[in-house]
Amino acid sequence: MTEKNHSETKPFDMNELSKIMSEVNKKSRQVVEKFMEKNKQFKEIDQAETKVITDSFQELTAKLMANPTKLFDSQMSYWQDYWGLIQKSTSQLWGLPAKPSDETDTSDKRFRDEAWESNPMFSFIKQSYLLTARAIRNTIHNIHGLDEKTRQRIEFYTNQYLDAISPTNFIMTNPELLKLTIESRGENLLKGLNNLLDDLDRGPCQLQIKMTDLDAFEIGKNLAVTPGKIIFQNDLMQLIQYKPTTDEVFERPLLIIPPWINKYYILDLTEKNSMVKWMTDQGYTVFMISWVNPDETLMNKNLEDYMLEGPVTALEAIERVTSQKSVNVIGYCMGGTLLACTTAYLTSKGEGGRIASNTYMASLLDFSDPGDIGVFIDEKQISAFEKKMNEQGYMDGCAMSNSFSMLRANDLVWSYIINNYMKGVSPVAFDILFWNSDATNLPAKMHSFYLRNMYLKNLLRKPGGIQLNRIPIDLSKITIPVYFISTREDHISRWQSTYYGTRLHSGPVRFVLGASGHVAGIVNPPHKKKYGHWTNEELPESAEEWLNGSKYHETSWWLDWLDWNKTYAGDKIPARIIGEGKNGKLEDAPGCYVTKRLDLPESGVCYMPNALL
């Protein structure tokens, strides 16, 4: 028995341990000093957020104390459930059959290890945590008298707290981590510490958790490789025209407006999942806006600059290249919001015919219910953002990235903390997570305008609520055909909220709901046969009515969009040669704007003049 145990236990590798300790000691002091310096940059924003959280929970406490009977009932219900758990756990400890707990959720990835069920102690720890978390959530949910904004904020930060104290996040209460630590004699923790120090040292962020192998991908080498040329450039964007892959193409070109909060290449990852490549294969002449990753020199660029120097200028450049005045346009996320603004703007100027159809991919036009991201939107927090942005000239991409990660903390924060820092494992290569780690800054003036007028005041939905270039923006003047594609598990643009946008147009509207989330549900190539979609030929008043009357299809929504858009794509003509029009060619795609990374200041340097050659 002794020999067996000895053979199963990993022996000390003193050379390996010494090497790890040497690396840890070398990095520790300078990394901690750098971290403290980074932390000062976010102090104002953190203080504003702390004040908002404190005020919200003080209000919750007041409501609880105002109704002690309800609080007592909640406590009694909790203790009754807990006593039942103790009885079940005692039976399991003595080897007696015990009914599975109602708290068990097979979809909860945190508790996949077999020991969470088979081991009585860990089973009790898990069920105790889940039962307590449910009791806390129910108590908050049943409190009356809280305004909806305060309730949302309290529920959000309560969930953050409950996620943080999960037993899976601690070595002594996680059977998988405990076993690994014993077997490796702590080597996993030393490797994990080394990984933590690497993340603290890397890039401009406070802590940028490494989600993928950052050395496995390079833009232009194995990402964003669809052949094309930069045919136009200004301060805010480069315009890419992609090489045709068919002998004939649709007469009407296709322009894609990605969000400026992320890089465009989410729509042009590897060849097997590139939406751009798929669209060229369907016979489209595809153009893509590639937004610059701004610094302090662009701090005064506003939303109207993004509109005029972005899609409006792109449409002019496309006309020079193709001689086509009318274009089909796709806008993704914030790019869709900008597309709606642009279409209304051109319509008011009598130039509505420049856009033949709109496609909104996971885009909010009515911001009355933005979801969990709304917890960061109020006067105090926006003022703190503005103060910080005005000091440095832009909204730091790190802060934005961290905020979005918090919306899915278990998937995008805690799972990587466990894997990287406790298991000591380096993450595997994954193209979408590489893109997700490629953060971008936002110009101060533009981002302030967007936060206040869209999220805080929700003025876009009101005719004339905002003005761009002195033109009142009225979405009800949009009469062209529009296509909405949203995704059912989207945590950034809730599909029920994007559905509100269908009520703001005056022309024909098609709404389609894809499976999965904000990225995976959009980037859903038909050949993978991974996620389906729902359709409904009617547009009832509410999103719930729409879903109840919808029909599910196992195929990708890309195919539904193709059937819809062909009507507006025009006749087939011989494929266009890039640059054969009045525009020149500046450089090969993907261009230098997209390669600038926040963690590599020397990257993405452009040596070309703006505009055309």
pLDDT digit string (tens) for 66-115? Answer: 777 777 777 888 888 888 888 888 887 777 665 655 555 667 889 999 99
| 3-state SS, residue 513 | strand
Collect the ranges in the chain with pLDDT lower than 50.
1-10, 12, 613
Tokens of 575: 């494929």
Backbone angles phi, psi at 485, to 5 degrees: -120, 120
Residue 8 confidence (pLDDT): 46
Tokens of 183: 């077997």
Sign of the four-CA dihedral 73, 78, 82, 84: positive
In 388-494, beta strands by DSSP E: 394-395, 442-443, 467-468, 471-472, 482-487
Angle between helices 120-141 and 148-164 (to 10 degrees): 170
Which residues, in sequence order, are CB contacts of 41 under 8 Å at separation 6+? Answer: 388, 396
Nearest-CA neighbor of 315 among 427, 372, 232?
Answer: 232
Residue 419 confidence (pLDDT): 93
CA-CA distance, 391 to 217, in Å (whole number)? 34
Q: Going from the N-terminus, what domains does the chain have, and what CATH number goes with each?
A: 2-184 (no CATH), 228-364+461-588 (3.40.50.1820)
Whether the CB-CB separation of 343 and 353 falls below 8 Å is answered with: no
Whether the CB-CB separation of 154 and 140 falls below 8 Å is answered with: yes
Nearest-CA neighbor of 122 among 72, 185, 187, 174?
Answer: 174
Whether the CB-CB separation of 365 and 458 falls below 8 Å is answered with: no
Residue 410 confidence (pLDDT): 82
CA-CA distance, 486 to 35, in Å (whole number)? 38
Whether the CB-CB separation of 274 and 524 falls below 8 Å is answered with: no
Sign of the four-CA dihedral 383, 388, 389, 393: positive
Residue 282 confidence (pLDDT): 98
Residue 104 confidence (pLDDT): 56
606 is a catalytic site residue? no
Residue recorded with tokens 């009520």 = 503
What's the number of CA atoms in the CB half-sphere (13 Å) around residue 80? 6
CA-CA distance, 306 to 602, in Å (whole number)? 25
DSSP secondary structure code for residue 223 in this structure: B
Instruction: Write the single-letter amino acid at 393.
Output: G
| Residue spans of alpha helices (H) in 220-352 | 275-281, 303-307, 313-322, 334-348
Q: What is the dihedral of CA 141, 144, 148, 149, to 10 degrees?
A: -90
Residue 3 confidence (pLDDT): 41
Which H/E stretch holds residue 94?
none
Sort strands 286-291 and 467-468 into parallel, antiparallel or unpaired. unpaired
| 3-state SS, residue 488 | coil
| 3-state SS, residue 11 | coil
Segment 424-482, tens digit of pLDDT: 999 999 999 999 989 899 999 999 999 999 999 999 999 999 999 999 999 999 999 99
Tokens of 278: 């798929």
Instruction: Write the single-letter amino acid at 149.
Output: K
Instruction: Write the single-letter amino acid at 384.
Output: A
Marked catalytic residue, from 205, 333, 398, 592: 333
| 3-state SS, residue 368 | coil
Instruction: Write the single-letter amino acid at 522.
Output: I
Residue 182 confidence (pLDDT): 86
Residue 48 confidence (pLDDT): 59
Quote helix, strand, coil % in the chain, to nearest 5.
50, 10, 35
